[in-house]
Amino acid sequence: MNTTTALEVRRLSPALGAEIRGVDLREALSDAVFEQILKAWHAHQVILLRDQDLSEDQQWAFGTRFGPLAGGHNRQLEASREGIAYVSNVRKDGKPIGILPDGEMQFHSDQSYREQPSQGSMLHAITVPGAGGNTVFADCYAAYETLPAEVQRRILGLQALHVYDYSLNPTQRGGRDVAADVPRHVQPMVRVHPVTRRKALYVSRLMTAHVVGLPDAESEALLSMLFDHVEQPRFIYSHAWRKGDVLMWDNRCVLHARTDFDPRETRLMRRITLKGEPVLAA
Ligand SMILES: [Fe+2]
C-alpha cells in the first residue's frame, strides 16, 4: 500500500479499543504504516485487525515490530519460536496442548507478578467457539482518572503485592498463602505509561493480593473498592472473537479477563507476549 495513505481507524467501544482496516499483516509493513499502527495502539490501548491468516513466522514478524518477545514458562513444543504460545482447550491424550485452556478468567494484567511485566500481548484467533470465550478489557487510565481525589492521593503513595499461581483456578485470586516458589512482586498501585505519560490504576482482582503496610481488613476494603471501580461497564470493551482476528492489548494501561465458554467447543489462539520492562511508579 501507499505509505502516505492514512489507515482507517474505527473505535470499538465508547471505552477503549480501535479496529484498524486496510492492512494485510502477511506483507512486510513499511515503517510509515507501522508507525500509524503503533500510534493507534498507544491512543486506543487495544487494537484489532480482522480477517488475517498468519503463520507463526508472519505473526512473529509483526509482533517483533513492537519490541522483543518474552521467553520463559509459556514456551511449548507446538510453537517453533520463543515468545509464541498456543492458548487452547484442545487436548491430546487428555492433556491440553495450550496454556490457560478452559473457561472464565478474572481481570488481570499479564505478568504483573514479575519485576518487569510484559508490555503487551497479542492473540490471533485460529478456531473460536460459537459463543462466549470473549476477552474483556478494562481501561485503567479512566479508572484512575475517575477516582475521588482523596483516593487518588492515598493510592499514589502505596504499593501492592502481585502474585499468581497458574495451578490454581483462574477465577480465584492469588493469595498470600500460595507456595513459596510462586512468582510475586510488589508494584506501585498507580503506574505511569512510558509513552503516553498518563497515570493508570495497576491492581487486578486475579493477581493483586495485598496492599503493602495495611492491616488485612483495610487492604481488602481498599482493593475490593478498586476492583469494583475498574470493572464497571463504562470502562469495558468486550471482544467477541471471529476467526482471523489479530488483537493486541497494552498491559500498562488495560486489564483483561475472559468469559466462560462451552468446553465441548474448540478455542485455539496463537499468542505472542512482548518482553517486560520496568514499571514506572506515578
Ligand atoms: Fe492474560
Give pLDDT, residue 2: 47
CA gap 83, 279 in Å, rounded: 20
Give pLDDT, residue 92: 81
Lowest mean pLDDT among 90-94, 151-155, 195-199: 90-94
Give pLDDT, residue 181: 80
Instruction: Judge whether 163 lies within some domain.
Output: yes
What is the DSSP pairing of strand 159-163 with strand 246-250? unpaired
Give pLDDT, residue 135: 96
pLDDT at 198 over 80: yes
Decide which of 251 and 83 is more confident.
Answer: 251
Give pLDDT, residue 74: 47
Q: Which helix (H) or strand (E) holds 77?
A: none
8 A C-beta contact, residue 15 and residue 4 = no
What is the DSSP pairing of strand 199-201 with strand 184-188? unpaired
Give pLDDT, residue 4: 58
Report residue 5's pLDDT band, with 50, 70 and 90 as the boundaries: confident
61: burial class by Cβ within 10 Å (0-12, 13-18, 19+)?
middle
Give pLDDT, residue 150: 97
Q: How many independent structural domains does the chain possess?
A: 1
Most distant CA pair in the chain: distance in Å? 59
- Residue 109 Cα to ligand 1 midpoint, Å, equals 6
Phi, psi of 208, deg, nearest 5: -90, 115
pLDDT at 153 over 70: yes
Lowest mean pLDDT among 83-97, 196-210, 264-278: 83-97
- Residue 111 Cα to ligand 1 midpoint, Å, equals 8
Task: Report pTM.
Answer: 0.92
- Residue 72 Cα to ligand 1 midpoint, Å, equals 15
Phi, psi of 16, deg, nearest 5: -165, 170
Q: Which helix (H) or strand (E) holds 149?
A: helix 149-156
The mean pLDDT value for 118-138 works out to 95
CA gap 201, 191 in Å, rounded: 7
pLDDT at 154 over 50: yes
Instruction: Judge whether 18 lies within some domain.
Output: yes
Helix axes 216-230, 149-156, angle to 10 degrees: 120
pLDDT at 78 over 60: no
Give pLDDT, residue 277: 92
The mean pLDDT value for 55-62 works out to 95
Report residue 85's pLDDT band, with 50, 70 and 90 as the boundaries: confident
Instruction: Judge whether 2 lies within some domain.
Output: no
pLDDT at 166 over 80: no
pLDDT at 125 over 90: yes
Give pLDDT, residue 172: 67
Q: Give the rounded percent of residues in the chain with a pLDDT score beyond 70.
A: 90
Instruction: Judge whether 48 lies within some domain.
Output: yes
The mean pLDDT value for 219-243 works out to 98
Cell of 126: 485460529
Collapse the DSSP code of 133 into the 3-class scheme (helix H, G, I; strand E, B; otherwise coil) and give the result.
coil
If one counts every other C-beta atom within 10 angstroms of the C-beta of residue 215, the result is: 9
8 A C-beta contact, residue 45 and residue 255 = no
pLDDT at 56 over 60: yes
CATH number at residue 228: 3.60.130.10
pLDDT at 48 over 50: yes
- Residue 147 Cα to ligand 1 midpoint, Å, equals 25
**CA neighbor of 281 nearest in space, from 212, 222, 235, 230:** 212
- CA-CA-CA-CA torsion sign (197, 201, 202, 204): negative
Give pLDDT, residue 75: 46
CA gap 282, 278 in Å, rounded: 13
Tell me which residue range forms the domain holding 130: 8-273
- Residue 150 Cα to ligand 1 midpoint, Å, equals 31
Catalytic residues: 108, 110, 256, 271
8 A C-beta contact, residue 189 and residue 158 = yes
Instruction: Judge whether 281 lies within some domain.
Output: no
pLDDT at 64 over 60: yes
pLDDT at 106 over 70: yes
